[in-house]
C-alpha cells in the first residue's frame, strides 16, 4: 500500500502475510536483544525504554547546557529503501552465525512485492534488482535500520570526528541532528556527507541545513527548537510543537468532522477525536505549550459543535445546545490541559 508523504509524494509500505510476519517477529525477539547491546546511547529509535521525546531532550541539552548552538539538521533521501544489502548483511554476520537464519533474512530483503491495481496483480522486484532497502511494514525493518545507522554513528565517534569538532549526533530512526560548537557546523556537515557516501547513502542536500541558534531555529521529531520569549519579554532557547505538527493535528480533526461522517454517532466521533488529542498532547508536552493547547482547544470545541449541529440539520453554532459539560461529561471529550500542573509527569 502507499502512504502519502507531507511533501506530496508517496511512501511504499509492504504488508507481509501473517505467516511471514509471525516468523519475522520471532526473529526480532531472538536477534533484537543481541544487536540492542551494540547500539550507541545516542540512538533512540524503536528501542526499549527510549522514545522520541528523550531524543529531543538530548539535543536540547547539547544546545543549552553544552553550548553546541550550531546544528546540522540532516536529512537522508529514502533511508529505509536505500540501505545496501551487502554491507547490511555483513553487519548481521558479525553477530549471527546461523547460516539458515541469514538466508531467511536475505530472502525477506529481496522478496517480491505484489500490488493490486483493479483486477490486475502487479509484481515488482525493485529490492532484488537494486540490492537495496529494508521491507517497510515488517517488524524487522526498524532493527535493521538502527543496525545500519550504527555504522555511521560508530564511525563518527571512533574516527575522531566527534572529539575533533565537539560535534555530537542525536538519532531517531532516519532522523538525526549534529550539535556542534560555533564555527564547526560546516566542517561537520562536509564530513557527514563524506561518511554517508561511503556507506552507500544519499544526503538530501535540499533539506539538509545548518541552524545557528538563537538566530535560527530547526525542527526535530515534531518539535521546533529556537528562540522564544517569556511573559516578561525575556528571550530564551526552548522547544515547542512545530507548526507542521499543529496543522497536521487540526487537519485530521477537520477531516474527521466533515459531512461524510454525519452517519456516525457523536460518541464514536468524540472517541476518535479524544484519542487523537490524548496522543498528541501526551507527546507534545515539552516547553511553552499552553498557548498551543488553547488554540487546539478552541478549534476542537468550535469544529465539534459545528459538526453536531450540521448532522442534525440545525442552525447556529451550538453553544447553548452543546455546552462544555455536554461535550466533556456526556460525550467524553478529552480535556486538554489548561495548566502546566495538569500535564502528566514525563520520563526524565
**Tell me, what's the pLDDT at 7?**
60
Give the per-residue pLDDT at 347. 46
- Phi and psi at residue 347, in whole multiples of 5°? -70, 140
* Residue 2: per-residue pLDDT: 59
Which residues are within 8 A (CB) of 33 and not within 5 positions of it... i.e. 6 or more apart?
A: none
Q: What is the pLDDT of residue 348?
A: 37
DSSP 241-293: E-HHHHHHHHHHHHHHTSGGGTTS-HHHHHHHHHHHHHHHHHHS-SSS-HHHH
Across 208-223, average pLDDT? 97
- The confidence score (pLDDT) of residue 207 equals 94
pLDDT digits (tens, 9 = 90+) for 48-90: 999 999 999 999 999 999 999 999 999 999 999 999 999 999 9
pLDDT of residue 136: 80
DSSP 8-state secondary structure symbol assigned to residue 211: E
The percent of residues in the chain predicted with pLDDT above 90, rounded, is 77
Backbone angles phi, psi at 213, to 5 degrees: -80, 145
**pLDDT at 120 exceeding the cut of 90:** no
Quick: pLDDT tens for 126-157.
778 889 999 888 899 999 999 999 999 999 99
Strands 218-220 and 223-229: antiparallel
Query: In the predicted model, what is the mean pLDDT of the chain?
Result: 91
Residues forming beta bridges with residue 210, ordered by sequence position? 72
Within 10 angstroms of residue 28's Cβ, the number of other Cβ atoms is 18
The CA-based angle 171-172-178, given to 5 degrees, is: 25
Amino acid 126: pLDDT: 77
- The 10s digit of each residue's pLDDT in 292-334 is 999 999 999 999 999 999 998 888 888 889 999 999 999 999 9
Neighbouring C-beta atoms of residue 150, cutoff 10 Å: 17
Is the Cβ–Cβ distance between 101 and 205 less than 8 Å? no
Q: How many CB atoms lie within 10 A of CB 249?
A: 21
Q: Where are the alpha helices (H) located in the chain, listed in sequence order?
A: 18-36, 52-64, 79-82, 85-93, 99-109, 126-130, 141-158, 161-165, 185-198, 243-256, 266-283, 290-311, 324-325
| Whole-angstrom distance, CA of residue 205 vs CA of residue 324 | 48
Count of beta carbons in the 10 Å neighbourhood of residue 83: 26
* Alpha-carbon gap, residue 301 to 311, rounded angstroms: 16
pLDDT digits (tens, 9 = 90+) for 169-195: 999 999 999 999 999 999 999 999 999
pLDDT digits (tens, 9 = 90+) for 245-294: 999 999 999 999 999 999 999 999 999 999 999 999 999 999 999 999 99
Please state, in angstroms and rounded to a whole number, the distance separating the CA atoms of residues 177 and 217: 13
201 exposure class (CB count in 10 Å sphere: 0-12, 13-18, 19+)? buried
Amino acid at each position: 500500500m502507499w502512504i502519502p508523504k507531507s511533501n506530496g509524494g508517496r511512501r511504499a509500505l509492504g504488508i507481509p502475510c501473517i505467516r511471514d510476519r509471525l516468523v519475522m517477529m520471532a526473529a526480532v525477539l531472538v536477534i533484537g536483544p543481541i544487536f540492542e547491546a551494540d547500539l550507541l546511547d545516542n540512538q533512540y529509535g524503536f528501542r526499549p525504554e527510549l522514545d522520541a521525546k528523550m531524543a529531543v531532550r538530548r539535543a536540547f541539552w547539547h544546545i543549552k547546557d553544552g553550548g553546541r548552538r550550531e546544528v546540522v539538521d540532516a536529512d537522508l533521501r529514502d533511508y529505509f529503501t536505500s540501505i545496501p544489502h551487502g554491507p547490511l548483511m555483513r553487519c548481521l554476520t558479525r553477530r549471527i552465525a546461523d547460516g539458515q537464519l541469514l538466508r531467511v533474512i536475505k530472502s525477506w530483503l529481496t522478496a517480491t512485492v505484489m500490488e493490486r491495481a483493479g483486477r490486475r496483480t502487479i509484481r515488482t522486484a525493485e529490492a532484488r534488482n537494486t540490492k537495496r532497502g529494508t521491507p517497510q511494514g515488517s517488524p524487522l525493518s526498524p532493527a535493521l535500520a538502527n543496525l545500519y545507522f550504527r555504522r555511521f554513528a560508530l564511525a563518527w565517534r571512533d574516527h575522531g570526528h566527534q572529539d575533533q569538532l565537539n560535534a555530537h549526533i542525536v538519532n531517531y530512526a532516519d532522523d538525526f541532528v549534529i550539535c556542534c560548537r560555533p564555527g564547526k557546523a560546516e566542517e561537520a556537515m562536509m564530513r557527514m556527507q563524506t561518511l554517508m557516501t561511503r556507506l552507500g547513502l544519499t544526503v538530501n542536500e535540499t533539506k539538509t541545513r545548518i541552524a545557528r541558534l538563537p538566530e535560527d531555529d530547526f525542527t526535530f521529531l515534531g518539535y521546533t527548537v529556537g528562540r522564544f520569549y517569556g511573559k516578561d519579554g525575556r528571550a530564551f532557547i526552548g522547544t515547542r510543537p512545530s507548526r507542521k505538527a499543529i496543522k497536521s493535528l487540526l487537519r485530521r480533526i477537520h477531516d474527521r468532522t466533515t459531512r461524510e461522517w454525519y452517519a456516525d454517532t457523536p460518541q464514536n466521533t468524540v472517541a476518535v477525536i479524544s484519542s487523537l488529542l490524548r496522543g498528541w498532547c501526551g507527546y507534545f508536552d515539552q516547553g511553552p505549550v499552553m498557548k498551543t493547547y488553547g488554540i487546539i482547544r478552541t478549534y476542537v470545541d468550535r469544529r465539534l459543535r459545528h459538526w453536531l449541529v450540521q448532522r442534525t440539520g440545525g442552525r447556529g453554532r451550538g453553544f447553548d445546545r452543546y455546552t462544555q459539560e455536554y461535550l466533556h461529561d456526556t460525550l467524553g471529550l478529552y480535556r486538554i490541559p489548561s495548566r502546566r500542573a495538569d500535564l502528566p509527569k514525563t520520563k526524565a
